[in-house]
Structure formats: C-alpha cells, structure tokens
C-alpha cells in the first residue's frame, strides 16, 4: 500500500481507477476467508498456511511485473487478488493457532499478536517509504518482500504444533518419548511417557468441510460477529475517513489531519499491547463493554468537539475503544475447539465485511449529510457491540489431569 502512488504514476491511473485496483485486494481477501475452511479440511493448517503465503508472494511479484515491466492494470489487479486471497486464508489459520496458544499457555495473547500485526504494517510502510526515497522500482521492491515473507513462513511454520483436529497429519511419538502437556489450570506441566502413537483416522475432508459450514447456525458465533462488526467498523472507517473528517469537518490542515490519524493508530497499538493483561484481570465482557463505552465517548467528542484538544482526546478514546474488538472476537470464536477454524473464519468474514462495506457506506452518507454526521453510524454499531459483549464470555475448561494429558487434543 505504501507504493500505491508509484503504481498510480507507473500506470497513469485516475483516483477512481486506483480505487478499482485496490478493490482487488479486498475481493481476494473475502474469497480467501471463504476458502480457508476448505483448505484447512483438505491440507491441514501447516501446509495450508505455507500455501497461502506462497500465493500472496506470487501475487506481490505479479503486481510488481504489472507495474514496472508490462504496465498492465489488469495484471496488477490480478496480483492484488492473489495477495488478498493468501492474506485472507492465512488470517483465519493464524488466529486459530493463536487461540490454541492462548489456551495452552493460559494467558490472553491474541491482542499482543495483533499488535505485532500493527507493528508489521508500520515496518512495511517505512520500508516502502525508503524504497520510494531511493527510487527503487516497484518490481524489485515487491520481489524482495515476497521472497522474505515466503522464507519466513517456511521457517516459522516448522515451529507450529501439529494439530490433527485442524487436518494436520499426526507425527508419531516414539516409544518411551516424554510428552509434556501444559496444565493451564495449575500453571504446571504434567510429564507422561507415551506409547507409540497409532495413526489418527480423520473424517473425510468433505465431511469436515460440511461440519465447518454448519457454524453459521450458531447464535453465539453470530453475536460475537456483531461485536467484531461494530468495533471493526470503527477501526476500518477511521483508517479511511478519520483524516478527511478532521480536515473537512473541523477545518484542520492536511498535515494536522495526518497527525490525527497517527494519534489514532498509536492508540490502537497501545490498546493491543496492554489489552492482554487487562483482559486476564477483568475478563472479556467487562473489557469489551468498556471498549464500546470508550469508543462511543470518543466518537461523540470527535464529532462535536468545539476545540482541537477535545478532538485529539476523542481520537485517543476512539482508538482505544476499537483496539480489542477483532482480537478478542477471534479468541472467543475459537473457545470451542470443535470446528475452531470454521468459527474463526465466520467471525473474520463478518469483520472483513465491515472493512469492505464501511468506507463506501460512510462516503455515501457523508456526501448526503456531511462526513461528521455520517460517523454517527459507527456510534450506533458500537452500541450494538457493547450490548452483544456477553456472547464473548470465557468458556471454562476442566483441569488437565495426568491420566488424561496423554489423550489427543479435542
């Protein structure tokens, strides 16, 4: 995204055409989210993640070729569809694995993982700014990033546990090999000696796929989706409209509008870094309600602020309020390990829907009634998110006993 100006100049695109090209990324992401359940059922999490990253890497190189070598808008669009597909599918798988890590360690880690995602966007933007500063062609920039990302995934996936419930092929345990299972309830580890592991018979992948699609009938998942929808809409809309609302609605300069946006993303990052310990201390429901309340207060201050300092205070509260919706929604969706991937996929699709639909809806409302008045839609959705917060309540898990710790994960 940091090289979009170079792509526009290289292809001589209008602003509307740039929007169409970028839509390829969003469309590919939604397709990837839908395909994630099938990929997990057919390939397992580890292989499916490598495949997703490989598809994204091919897409990056394709977009680079279309920009710098062939000057083809269609090729850039196709490349971004591939990038989005890989990102969307891997997004589901990463969150499923992250939720499993939370359960094994016994602490809330998902917000910190999403803070690392935010940090990655900052590093990527700085790398793009550096590449632009030295006039590095888009092709060579994206080739370098594609190879780096693919190599990182190939190495990193080797350290991800094999999970037969996610379709991974089980690794046999040698006779007498020590198997250490974390006891999250007691903060201890139970060591047992495992017999040679027999092959685990998995249901046919089509049966696993049908089971995965059935989660859309789960009322709890839909209510978690409402939480994610409201808070993610607040996040995505700020990404697209916050700076413009500060400039057009409050008369700030373009530079000041950029600063306001920087304040927002900084507040988001802070909220995610410190969100884990706060969630462990107070629980999901109170924290989500507090996030919704902060977001609502921040939006009211931002929309109605008579002074600049109140506008900045509102921006901070808005960012803090929106920071935990998506990561907490992912954790809550994966509480039930049965069909966890499908549950995470369903909630993630609702969140991506907010990212996709939010910007154009606010644009249409802003054209009719003014951009500040359009922001009241976000406020209404955050009220719904606060009301739906009980759906994310933590599930209780029975303590792991030595006699049961050798059993396969459920």
- 227 contacts 392 by C-beta, under 8 angstroms: yes
3-state secondary structure 190-223: EEEECCCCCCCCCCCHHHHHHHHHHHHHCHHHHH
DSSP SS3 for 257 = helix
Tens of pLDDT along the chain (410 residues) come to 777 778 888 888 876 677 778 778 878 888 888 888 778 778 878 889 999 999 999 999 999 999 889 988 899 999 999 999 998 888 888 887 887 788 788 888 888 888 888 778 778 877 887 888 888 899 999 999 999 999 999 998 888 877 665 656 665 544 444 444 444 444 444 444 444 444 455 556 566 666 666 677 788 889 999 999 999 888 877 876 777 788 888 888 877 877 888 788 888 888 998 998 999 899 999 999 999 999 999 999 999 988 888 899 999 999 999 999 888 998 888 787 777 767 877 887 788 777 767 766 777 787 788 878 888 988 899 999 999 999 999 876 443 333 333 333 33
The pLDDT assigned to 207 comes to 64
Helix and strand totals (H; E) in the chain: 16, 2
Q: Which CATH superfamily is domain 212-389 in?
A: MFS general substrate transporter like domains (1.20.1250.20)
DSSP SS3 for 183 = strand
Instruction: Characterize 341-353 residue by residue with b for buried, 16 or more Cβ atoms within 10 angstroms of its Cβ, and e for exposed.
Output: bbbbbbbbbbbbb
Give dist(CA 93, CA 109) in Å, integer.
Answer: 16
DSSP string, 346-380: HHHHHHHHHHHHHHHHHHHHHHHH-HHHHTHHHHH
Q: How far is CA 100 from the centre of its chain?
A: 16
Query: Where in the chain are the domains?
Result: 4-165, 212-389
Give dist(CA 180, CA 173) in Å, integer.
Answer: 12
Contacts of 65 (CB under 8 A, 6+ apart): 72, 75, 79, 139
């Amino acid at each position: 995204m940091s090289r979009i100006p170079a792509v526009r100049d290289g292809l001589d695109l209008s602003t509307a055409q740039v929007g169409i090209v970028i839509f390829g990324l969003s469309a590919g992401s939604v397709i990837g989210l839908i395909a994630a359940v099938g990929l997990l059922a057919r390939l397992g999490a580890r292989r499916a993640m490598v495949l997703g990253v490989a598809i994204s890497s091919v897409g990056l190189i394709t977009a680079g070729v279309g920009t710098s070598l062939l000057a083809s808008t269609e090729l850039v669009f196709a490349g971004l569809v591939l990038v989005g597909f890989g990102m969307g599918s891997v997004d589901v798988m990463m969150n499923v694995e992250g939720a499993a890590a939370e359960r094994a360690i016994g602490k809330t880690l998902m917000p910190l993982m999403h803070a690392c995602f935010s940090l990655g966007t900052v590093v990527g933007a700085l790398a793009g700014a550096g590449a632009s500063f030295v006039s590095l062609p888009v092709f060579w920039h994206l080739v370098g990033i594609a190879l780096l990302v693919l190599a990182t995934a190939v190495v990193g996936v080797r350290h991800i546990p094999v999970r037969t419930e996610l379709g991974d092929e089980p690794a046999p345990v040698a006779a007498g090999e020590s198997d250490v299972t974390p006891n999250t309830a007691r903060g201890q580890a139970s060591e047992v000696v495992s017999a040679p592991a027999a092959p685990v018979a998995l249901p046919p992948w089509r049966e696993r796929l049908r089971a995965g699609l059935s989660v859309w009938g789960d009322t709890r998942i839909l209510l978690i989706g409402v939480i994610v929808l409201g808070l993610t809409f607040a996040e995505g809309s700020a990404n697209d409209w916050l700076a413009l609302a500060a400039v057009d609605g409050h008369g700030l300069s373009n530079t000041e509008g950029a600063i306001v946006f920087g304040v927002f993303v900084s507040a988001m990052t802070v909220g995610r870094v410190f969100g884990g310990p706060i969630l462990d201390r107070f629980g999901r429901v109170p924290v989500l309600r507090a996030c919704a309340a902060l977001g609502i207060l921040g939006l009211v201050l931002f929309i109605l602020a008579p002074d600049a300092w109140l506008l900045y205070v509102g921006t901070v509260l808005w960012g803090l309020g929106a920071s935990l919706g998506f990561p907490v929604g992912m954790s809550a969706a994966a509480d039930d390990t049965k069909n966890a991937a499908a549950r995470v996929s369903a909630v993630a699709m609702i969140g991506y829907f907010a990212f996709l639909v939010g910007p154009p809806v606010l644009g249409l409302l802003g054209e009719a009634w003014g951009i500040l008045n359009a922001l009241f839609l976000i406020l209404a959705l955050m009220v719904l998110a606060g009301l739906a917060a009980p759906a994310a309540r933590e599930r209780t898990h029975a303590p792991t006993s030595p006699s049961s710790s050798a059993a396969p994960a459920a």
